[in-house]
Chains A and B, each alone.
Chain A
Amino acid sequence: DQQVKQNSPSLSVQEGRISILNCDYTNSMFDYFLWYKKYPAEGPTFLISISSIKDKNEDGRFTVFLNKSAKHLSLHIVPSQPGDSAVYFCAARVFNTDKLIFGTGTRLQVFP
C-alpha cells in the first residue's frame, strides 16, 4: 500500500517555463512534507519542506503548496532550467518520528 504517490512518472518542460510536480498522500499522520532531487549515481538532495500546518513555502525558484483537504502537495519550479533535470521525490514524515516515506518519483526533463 503506497501511502505517498507520484502519479506522473515523467514530465518534460521547456527551459524558462514552470514545472509542476505533484504528489498525493493517503495518511493523515504526516507532519512534514519534503521534496528531494536525485541525479544519477548520487544520493537524494533535500530541496524544500513544508509543515502540515502551512499551505505554502517558498525558497528561490522553488515553491511547495500543500492542500490538506485534498491530501495533495505540489512543487513549482519557476523558471525551469536544464540543470533541474533529475528525478524528484516527495516524502512525508510520520508524525513525531524519524521516519520518512517516499513517493515513487517523477523524472523531470527540462529542454532548451
Chain B
Amino acid sequence: DTEVTQTPKHLVMGMTNKKSLKCEQHMGHRAMYWYKQKAKKPPELMFVYSYEKLSINESVPSRFSPECPNSSLLNLHLHALQPEDSALYLCASSQAGSPDTQYFGPGTRLTVL
C-alpha cells in the first residue's frame, strides 16, 4: 500500500470557522509533511514531523496548527483563516531521513470566504 489519503477533498470555510484537515498513511513512514500549493505555483513546505515530533516549521502563521497523534496520522487544524489562505493543501510521507522519495496525497482544496 503506497497510498496517502487526505480528507476532506474539498472544504469551504468562513474566516471565523474552525476546521481540520486529516492525512493518513500506512506505509510505516515516520516522516510526514504539510505543503501549501497556490494556483500555478509550486508546493511550498509548511511543516515536517519526524517520529511524531515537529522538526520543521517554515514560519507558518499560528492560525495553522499541525498535530501528529501517531505515526500514521497527521492533522492540520485551521482557525481564523484569511481568504488568501485558499489553496490546495498537500500531505506527504517518507522514510525518516529520506525525504527524497516523498509520497503525496491528492490534497484538500480549501476555500476561505
Contact = CB atoms under 8 A, between A and B. Distances in A.
B44 to A, nearest CB: 8
Interface residues of A, number: 22
Contacts of B33: 98
Interface residues of B, number: 28
Contacts, number: 59
A27 B74 CA distance: 30
A99 B99 contact: yes
Interface in A73-112: 89, 93, 97-105
B42 A46 contact: no
Contacts of A93: 99-100
Contacts of A49: 100-101
A62 interface: no
Contacts of B105: 43
A101 B96 CA distance: 17
A43 B104 CA distance: 5
B76 interface: no
B90 A104 contact: no
A44 B100 CA distance: 13
Contacts of B56: 97-99
Contacts of B50: 98
B48 A32 contact: no
Nearest to B48: A98
Contacts of A100: 45, 99-100, 102
A44 B104 contact: yes
Q: Which of A99, A100, A101 has the most CB of B within 10 A?
A: A100
Given A98-B31, A99-B48, A99-B56, A89 B102 contact: no
A42 interface: yes
5 contacts: A42-B107, A43-B107, A49-B100, A89-B42, A98-B33
Interface of B: 4, 31, 33, 40-45, 48, 50, 55-56, 90-92, 94, 96-97, 99-107
